[in-house]
Structure 1
Amino acid sequence: MDLGNKASLWSRKHLNMTAMSMEESQEEKHSEIFFQLLLDVLNFSAASFSALTHTDSIQEVVSMDVVERSFQEQLDLIKVSMEYLKKLEARSSDILKASQLVIDSIIRFCSEQCQVKDWTNFAKCPEVENGSLDCEGPTRVNPVVKIWKCVILKLCDLGILASKDGGHLVSILNTSWKGVVRLLQQGKGSLEVVLNVSNIILELISLACGSLRMAATSWSSASEGPISVAVARRAFIPVKFYLVNAVKISSIYPTQAFHVHRGITLCATMISCLRISLSKERNFKIASELISELLEPMTMSLLYSILNSDEVKEEMKFEILDSLFTAGCNDSSRDDSCGKDMMQLGKIFSEAHDSISSANALLLGRILLFICLLRFSINAEENVKLGITRKLEWLFNMLIEEEVYAFIFSMQIPLSYGTKEKMETVWEPLFCSLLVSLKTFTVTASCGIAWGELISFLLYNIFHPHLICQEIIMDILCFLMRYAENSVVNDIIDKLCSCFKSVAHLPSLLDPGSAARKIARSLSLLAKCGTQSAADQVYGSIIGENRSQLSSVMLVAFLMEGFSMQLLSDSLREIAKRRIITDYCAFMGTSYGRYLQNDSCILSMAPVFVLSASLLSTQFDESDINKRTLKFLFAIMGILSESTDPKTLENCHSLLAETLWILSNMKNQSTFNEMDDVILQLHGIFMSKARSDAWKWRSKGELALFMAGFSYMEISETEECKKSSALRSLYHMLLKERHWALAHLALASFGYFAARTSCNQMWKFVPENAALSFDLLKENKVNEERFMSEFKAFLEKDAALHEIAPTSDLLQLLQAEAMLLKEATQKKMQALEIMGMDCEVMEANHQQLPSKRRKLPVEISKGVDLLQSGMRVMGEGLTQWQKAEPDSPELHDKFVAHFACLQDAIANLASISGSGNS
């Protein structure tokens, strides 16, 4: 072996000189002899090392120090040979084969030595633990470890050198890095006491980042057209190779991988950023698909190799998640080489294309990486799931940002499904991918320590001020209602119903943004997604047989938010229908005019709101409703025509809206004899210039729906017909509306009316300054012909978007919308902080949900039950009194007012005491 060492040293020294002489075309014969000698040296060394591997007692044959020097010399010779390989075209293939033989024989020797050495004793050797390589332990492993360390480092150098060549040294690249991984695996973790494995992992990560940056730079400057599959694969296969080896090493040495976790996380973010940038460009969609197929699984495996390791402490895992998902975490990492790579990568496509900026690509890349962590969380450890759960708040904070909000709805990304044998790539909207990933994580976290914190997060954010966050929360809760176990479903319903009772009060009834309406909306949606028993549980928990004011408020809010009676079981649905009709008919027999000037009006007239809200899902006997409703409509319109009190006008317009809606759902509405008078009085109310329009908006939408039913009436088209003139004036008013919601309702109503009416002169119903007649692109000018063309498109739904194709205009609109929502969210949060609470009812929610209700004495619960029974008896007596003595309304109404206050007090007592009837 000494001869081989000397020959190798001589060859390495003369290789540079020989290569130089070849460029000058001198001494060709000398060069040929030299390269033959170089081959002989390599082949001789390979044969020597192979023979040495099969020797039973190495110490008797050769000194281990000689073996170490020989390995070092041969690997140095191979490295120098690779540097000049391009100049040795005639001999390059022979030199590559010989070099591989040498590397293979060296790796086999080290592997054989590993199998006969006691690594456990080596790891326990005090001198080795202190970093000394002169330890002569009981098994004399120190010389072997020195050889291993030398070989691994030299193979790393060869791997780095081979990566710089554009594919010419693939065999050396493959052999050297696989050798590194093999030796580190066989070291069983003991090598980390003498070898800095973290540097090796970081080298692989840097090579992956460099390859990505090179590909991105090349593609962004090219203009030949779409990137082909072959080109994209040629760019990403080396990256996958580096990541695969990094995963293998990190799995064996997770604590060493943690030391360079910032480089790993930045590489993962870099891949996500590139995927985002490529997805935005049509020419690069193939490349984006291949990233999803080839690199995304490797990225997740690399991260989870550290996060799932038992050797990595919990606080260290949380530190990794913090470095990824904390606001501004990238700013502190720009001095890192990988961080610079990522920043440069973000600029590459932003400079070449205007569709996405560098900052947006980085932010969206982090969000996409979080989505991937959620998707791949099925194999995550419990403490990792807990850490991910605590980062959901970061995700919600990022979704509020204008750029994210715009792209989350407009951008599509490729997702790979299936197995290695059959992989399918599907393009999905980023928002849909987020929802699916969150649901996946919900399933994986359902049986571990993160479940309680996840449920708390969902319930806490059900009142989130931002719309997109509310929608995400509700989508996950609906998912749980469909597929979770009954115990989970019942627990969610109980907590939300308890919270609903704590926030339901009169002033919030007609405010769609109030806490009562929000939680009623949530419960209604959850009931639709659950089973029939779940819907019965919701209805029974909220209303049941309770007749208190609190139950009336909750029932109104619940039905106004779309709860369908069809969800209930047959028996409970019939009971609910009888209650609605009974309360409505009883109300119609009372005197209600005196209450229209105060807040109790809405509560007193709750039966009207309940019937109106239940008509979409329930069929009633119209004979019990029509005459009473028409009478009530005339009464309300009479008050509106005479009153000037603002509170009265506000309440009357709210009641007018509900009454018009009730009549709109009645069959044969146009056959009522009183319809002519209804039209004329509505015209007087809405077209009167002497009255303010402050509260008319409350009932304009229902007026549009009501007027659609007039299409079946016989209408004279003469100018003398007051009914026809009133209808035209009302449609003029509605079609002038500029608010998008009212404009939509007006167009829908007019379209229904125009398609079915016997009138021929429809142009008389359209004002010259209708909303659709304005052309905003031409300085808000009126174009009469434009109305009909836009109206035709509206009816035929030609303007609807059939696929997501984001444009710059659409992104600008979404960003403007996001900015308004963000400002509104910040104002709400600031107001809530001033009030000393995190959300409108979070304080009450916090007290109600996590903590157990304190048990009160049995006597208190019994007393409350007796009070409730007494109130039911008194309510029945009031109904009988009204029927028996209808001539004494003043005393009856006075008693009813005090009775309502008493009902509120007892209902509050029942909710506090936990009475079953509350």
Structure 2
Amino acid sequence: MESKWSNARLQSLLEAIKSSDVVESRVQLIMKLGDVVLPDKSDRSYLVECLNTFWEDFTCLDVSQCMLNKAILHVAAKFLTEDISQCLEQFLLLGTKKLESFQLLYENQGSTWCAKHLKMTVMETQDSPEEEHSDLFFKLLLDLVAFSTASFSALSRYPILGNTELKVLVENFVLEQLNLARDATSELKKIHSVGPEVLNSIQGLLDAALKLCRVYSEAVNWEFYNASIQQDTQGMECEETTKIDHVICIIKYTIERFCDLGSLAAKDGGNLVTILNASWKGVVSLLQLGKGALASKTNVDDIILTLVSLARETLRCASDAWSSLVESITVTDARRAFLPVRFYLINAVRISRQYPCQAFSVYKEITRFVLMIFSLKILLSKESFLKDASEVLAEQLEPTSFQLIESVLNSALLKQELKVEVLDWLFDEGYPSSDCEDQRSESTTLASDVFLVTCDAVPWARIFLLPRIALFLKILEKSELDDIKLGMTRKLGWLLNIIIYEEVYASILVLQFPVSPDSGPSKNVMWLPMYSFLVQSLKAFMLLAYSTPAWEELESFLIEYILHPHFLCWEIVMELWCFKVRHAEPDLVIDIFDKICLLFKSVAPLDSHLIPGCILRRLAKSICMLVSSSAHSMVDQVYSYISDDKSQLSLVMYMALLMEGFPLNLLSDDLQRVAVQKIISEYFGFIDNFDVDIIRSCSSSIYIVPVFAMASALATLQINVPDIDGRTLKFMVTMIQSYKTATEQSSNDLYGKLLGETLHIISHMKPLYASEEMDDVVLGLKSLLISGTAASDAQIFRCKPGLAIFSAGLGHKEIVESDKNPNTCAVWEVFHMLLRERHWAFVHLAIAAFGYFAARTSCNELWRFVPQNAALAFDVKSGNETKEDYFMSELKIFLEKEMAFTSVRYSSEQVSPLVNEGSILKEMTYKHLNVESRGEACEIMGIDGENHTSKKRKFPDEISRGVELLQDGLKVMGYGISKWKQDQLGSSELQGKFLSNFSCLEDLVNHLMGLAAGG
């Protein structure tokens, strides 16, 4: 009965609406339709069909049309909450029609009609009919968005998956509703009067669309679809695959429009936070549907690029805003600026982890942006007022941005060759660009320059050198898969090659930057020197690489670069060697030292002259550093290996180790006692029997081993020998006199070495400075080094480190402050010579020596010890003007350095000299490497053609050197035999046997000399 009454009332109202010509009357009648109860589903379907016919879709000319359409939407929306399973098609058609008419009004006249009404709203009074129309239009917009939201909810309750015609209608409907949300969002600024309400409505629409996609996704069998794709069953569509294609289409449309909304919200400067948040989080959620089936149906790589681009643009705006500031950026301001950047990155990371293959397709853009973040961190860390910003960036952006690269490199879904491609591109072996625009110095690089680097320029841009190193180290620390560990191990040589560049070299030595919390045990950002961070990362990687295929490669790297010609690279490699021997199993450590000692022994004949920087001394320095980091038993083993053998070759090795500071103090007590007794005995034997004739006839440094041994022992051990005092000073005076008269270059070399080591010996024995013989030593040094012909000898420069240490000890000597005292004048002149040196290393030695002297001497007139042209007296900027104040200022800083350098900050004054030094070291390294490579090439190629005549040499240079050493050894032995005969030590029978064997040896050596000369 009720159904019949309702149907009759419905028919009566519909007929009245159709017959009415007055819009206001039609609106009233349509509103009454909303009060009609329609229990029959067919009646609801008929009603919605009629509403479709009542909708006026021509261009809106006045307020009446908006009123009519608003009433229609009001009635239709009431029935959306009921069971409309039988009339979904009609509702979808109504929704599509009202959108078409809205877009006709809103888009076609958006630039004229809508703008006109917005202007009228501002200019006219509240009673204006135009304002009334625009207000009604905006309310209609709110109803449209609400109807769309309710429609999505209805579709979620009644999924349409079977009817082909309805599926197309649903797809178009979803697309049009989301287009409405996008268009309304783009015009929010023009409809500010209802902007908040529209914003909330759009938020609801997005939530409903996301729910709709989830419901549809749960209604289909994704495993079946993915399996059918893998089996390549194209053309064999079934009902299930058709359903899934329909669901994919809906999800795809939703993802695309969500991306559009997210981009629009981002351009608004953060005012649309709710839309920004909902849209991008919605994209991430939607891409998690389908169990991977969406990868080939949606442009995931474009979505990742969009998020990266938004993050980059936001970061650039913040960087530009700070570039003109001179005041500090607070932590709060920095967090506020970086928050949206981190938001974009988090969503990009979530997508990249789920779709690593798509992330790989845009890895160049990803890595470029990550390098930009690392670059900004480094640039910000150089300015004290941007320190907080640098810390926040390291905490908020660096870890998240690195996860983008991790999503590719640590993905098990990507093949190894693809990951290697990323590493090869990022850590290219080519040379950095030398273009004009890239030649800006490290200290003047602007943050804006970072954003100008293109993808193609990343491997060559000098501005990315340090960031690439920082990223390299980060990848080392976070390597999870064995293939990445292996790939990174093969790139360790690239790291050393980059460190050679002067700006990188300088920055590693002076730069400090914040390190993100995940790089250490602390949860807070830590400021670390770049060198420390570099070494710590490499050590951490050694632990990760152990027991993996990368370990063998890592060991090969350590062996290959143990003698790297660049000292900083060598230091880094040796840090890793020391870390290895410090924590390795004892058997492995023993094997390491056995191999290194064997290598040491094989190299010894090649460099017996022990020239600074030769292979033997470099290897000896490496051994000294290694034994200092190993167990005491290994120190004993290495020392015994060298000292137990009495051959001349072992003497060469022994001397090389002592010259490079072998840690005698780490020997066991018994062996240390034996070693000290041996050193003292041989030292006394040498200085008591010092023979000028042997120096003249011997070019080998082996003869002066006892002096090197004593200097090395005194540097590490506490040796108290009363008799050593006067004998050493007498020996020093005798040697200075002999040095003055020496004419041969080989003699000068030995005297120079003797002088330097003896000065070191004296500097360790403070009581010597109070003896009378010290005046003779100072006068002799002044005569030799300043007034004599030896003052221009190159060997003198090698003596100056010892002279500086010796001069510092003069603070323990009583000095008469009188210019008539020759001893005092000699001390003044020695200090004058030291303080005039311009090289930074000598400057440091000299100022350190003078500072030590000034703190301990009883002299009051210290200005007498400083020359007017002292290196530190010159003006730093001009380099020409000298003032005493400059020197005193530098001396004061040195003496109060604990207070002056409470914190180390990056400054151009520190970097500039280091860059110049790095440039020199780079050229030296390249020359060294080129010489080695040419030698290897000649050895491999055999040298044909015009160099064929060089093959007439029958003996290599090493054999000729060995023969010369044998000849020198015979001379030394000859002098020893003559003294042996004079002292009449030993039996005549023993002398006879020895002389007979010596004669045979002499004949053999002479024969070898003839063969070598003939070759």
Band of TM-score, shorter chain: 0.7 to 0.9
Between stretches 484-493 and 166-175, larger displacement belongs to 484-493
- SS across alignment from 1:210: helix
Is 1:23 aligned with 2:114? Answer: no
Is the Cα–Cα contact under 8 Å of residues 379 and 447 in structure 2 kept in the other structure?
no
CA drift of 1:188 comes to 1.5
CA drift of 1:302 comes to 0.8
Residue in structure 2 matching 1:76, options 166, 179, 184? 179
Q: Paired residue for 1:866? A: none
| TM-score (structure 2 length as normaliser) | 0.74
What residue identity is the alignment partner of 1:389?
T
CA pair 488-53 structure 1, distance change in 2 beyond 3 A: farther
Is the Cα–Cα contact under 8 Å of residues 607 and 615 in structure 2 kept in the other structure?
no
| TM-score (structure 1 length as normaliser) | 0.81
Between stretches 295-304 and 87-96, larger displacement belongs to 87-96
CA drift of 1:281 comes to 3.6
CA pair 798-781 structure 1, distance change in 2 beyond 3 A: farther
Q: Paired residue for 1:511? A: 611
Residue in structure 1 matching 2:658, options 559, 578, 581? 559
CA drift of 1:251 comes to 1.1
Cα distance in structure 1, aligned partners of 2:631 and 2:474: 32
Residue in structure 2 matching 1:154, options 257, 280, 288? 257
- SS across alignment from 1:311: coil
Cα distance in structure 2, aligned partners of 1:701 and 1:329: 37
Q: Paired residue for 1:578? A: 677
Which structure 2 residues correspond to residues 849-868 of structure 1 after superposition, within 5 A?
none
Cα distance in structure 2, aligned partners of 1:609 and 1:366: 44
CA drift of 1:131 comes to 8.0
Between stretches 280-289 and 446-455, larger displacement belongs to 280-289
CA pair 34-254 structure 1, distance change in 2 beyond 3 A: same
CA pair 278-361 structure 1, distance change in 2 beyond 3 A: farther
CA drift of 1:782 comes to 6.5
CA pair 217-590 structure 1, distance change in 2 beyond 3 A: closer
Cα distance in structure 2, aligned partners of 1:132 and 1:250: 32
Cα distance in structure 1, aligned partners of 2:887 and 2:130: 91
Between stretches 770-779 and 442-451, larger displacement belongs to 770-779
Residue by residue over 1:265-298, the C-alpha shift from the partner in whole angstroms, topping out at 9 and shown as x without a partner, is: 1121222223233333444333322221111111
Residue by residue over 1:134-177, the C-alpha shift from the partner in whole angstroms, topping out at 9 and shown as x without a partner, is: 66456842222222222222222222222222223222222222
Cα distance in structure 1, aligned partners of 2:897 and 2:921: 28
Q: How many pairs were matched up?
A: 848
RMSD in angstroms over aligned alpha carbons?
4.4
CA pair 534-4 structure 1, distance change in 2 beyond 3 A: farther
Residue in structure 1 matching 2:911, options 805, 811, 814? 811
CA drift of 1:307 comes to 0.7
Which structure 2 residues correspond to residues 106-125 of structure 1 after superposition, within 5 A?
106-125=209-228
Q: Paired residue for 1:253? A: 355
Is the Cα–Cα contact under 8 Å of residues 121 and 139 in structure 1 kept in the other structure?
no
Is 1:202 aligned with 2:305? Answer: yes
Is the Cα–Cα contact under 8 Å of residues 770 and 814 in structure 2 kept in the other structure?
no
What residue identity is the alignment partner of 1:103?
L
CA drift of 1:475 comes to 2.8
Q: Paired residue for 1:313? A: 415
Between stretches 55-64 and 604-613, larger displacement belongs to 55-64
Residue by residue over 1:327-361, the C-alpha shift from the partner in whole angstroms, topping out at 9 and shown as x without a partner, is: 569989xxxxxxxxxx996437999xxxxxx9654
Is the Cα–Cα contact under 8 Å of residues 687 and 727 in structure 2 kept in the other structure?
yes
Q: Paired residue for 2:100? A: 9
Is 1:828 aligned with 2:931? Answer: no
Q: Paired residue for 2:648? A: 549
Cα distance in structure 2, aligned partners of 1:533 and 1:428: 34
Is the Cα–Cα contact under 8 Å of residues 655 and 702 in structure 2 kept in the other structure?
no
CA drift of 1:648 comes to 1.9
Is the Cα–Cα contact under 8 Å of residues 772 and 786 in structure 1 kept in the other structure?
yes
Residue by residue over 1:165-193, the C-alpha shift from the partner in whole angstroms, topping out at 9 and shown as x without a partner, is: 22232222222222221121122212223
Residue in structure 1 matching 2:338, options 236, 251, 260? 236
Residue in structure 2 matching 1:412, options 494, 512, 516? 512
CA pair 33-127 structure 1, distance change in 2 beyond 3 A: farther
Q: Paired residue for 1:293? A: 395
CA drift of 1:733 comes to 5.3
Is the Cα–Cα contact under 8 Å of residues 49 and 109 in structure 1 kept in the other structure?
yes
CA pair 732-155 structure 1, distance change in 2 beyond 3 A: closer
Q: Paired residue for 2:566? A: 466
Cα distance in structure 1, aligned partners of 2:317 and 2:570: 41
Residue in structure 2 matching 1:392, options 489, 492, 499? 492
Is the Cα–Cα contact under 8 Å of residues 423 and 487 in structure 2 kept in the other structure?
yes
Residue by residue over 1:715-751, the C-alpha shift from the partner in whole angstroms, topping out at 9 and shown as x without a partner, is: 7778887666665665665565555555655666666
What residue identity is the alignment partner of 1:460?
E
Q: Paired residue for 1:163? A: 266
Cα distance in structure 2, aligned partners of 1:103 and 1:526: 65
CA drift of 1:809 comes to 3.6
Which structure 2 residues correspond to residues 302-381 of structure 1 after superposition, within 5 A?
302-326=404-428, 346-347=448-449, 361-377=463-479, 380-381=480-481
Is the Cα–Cα contact under 8 Å of residues 304 and 348 in structure 2 kept in the other structure?
yes
CA pair 475-123 structure 1, distance change in 2 beyond 3 A: same
Residue in structure 1 matching 2:756, options 657, 664, 668? 657
Stretches of structure 1 lacking an aligned partner (at least 5 in a row)? 333-342, 352-357, 840-875, 905-918
What residue identity is the alignment partner of 1:554?
M
- SS across alignment from 1:427: strand
Cα distance in structure 2, aligned partners of 1:143 and 1:502: 76
Cα distance in structure 1, aligned partners of 2:326 and 2:820: 73
Is 1:193 aligned with 2:296? Answer: yes
Greater relative contact order (CA < 8 Å, ≥ 6 in sequence): 1
Cα distance in structure 1, aligned partners of 2:737 and 2:754: 13
- SS across alignment from 1:622: coil
Stretches of structure 2 lacking an aligned partner (at least 5 in a row)? 1-90, 121-128, 435-444, 454-459, 940-975, 1006-1015
Residue by residue over 1:492-515, the C-alpha shift from the partner in whole angstroms, topping out at 9 and shown as x without a partner, is: 434433332222247555433122
CA drift of 1:536 comes to 3.0
Which entry has the higher C-alpha Rg, 1 or 2? 2
Residue in structure 2 matching 1:613, options 685, 709, 712? 712
Between stretches 206-215 and 501-510, larger displacement belongs to 501-510
Is the Cα–Cα contact under 8 Å of residues 812 and 856 in structure 2 kept in the other structure?
yes
Is 1:44 aligned with 2:44? Answer: no
Percent of aligned pairs with the same residue?
41
CA pair 344-207 structure 1, distance change in 2 beyond 3 A: farther
CA pair 726-145 structure 1, distance change in 2 beyond 3 A: closer
Is the Cα–Cα contact under 8 Å of residues 380 and 390 in structure 2 kept in the other structure?
yes
Is the Cα–Cα contact under 8 Å of residues 159 and 216 in structure 2 kept in the other structure?
no
CA drift of 1:23 comes to 1.9
CA drift of 1:577 comes to 2.4
Cα distance in structure 2, aligned partners of 1:668 and 1:417: 53
Cα distance in structure 1, aligned partners of 2:918 and 2:555: 27
Q: Paired residue for 2:374? A: 272
What residue identity is the alignment partner of 1:207?
L
Cα distance in structure 2, aligned partners of 1:248 and 1:751: 60
Cα distance in structure 1, aligned partners of 2:1004 and 2:199: 93
Cα distance in structure 1, aligned partners of 2:737 and 2:889: 40
Cα distance in structure 2, aligned partners of 1:73 and 1:269: 40
Cα distance in structure 2, aligned partners of 1:800 and 1:734: 24
Residue by residue over 1:102-127, the C-alpha shift from the partner in whole angstroms, topping out at 9 and shown as x without a partner, is: 22222222223323422122123359
- SS across alignment from 1:668: helix
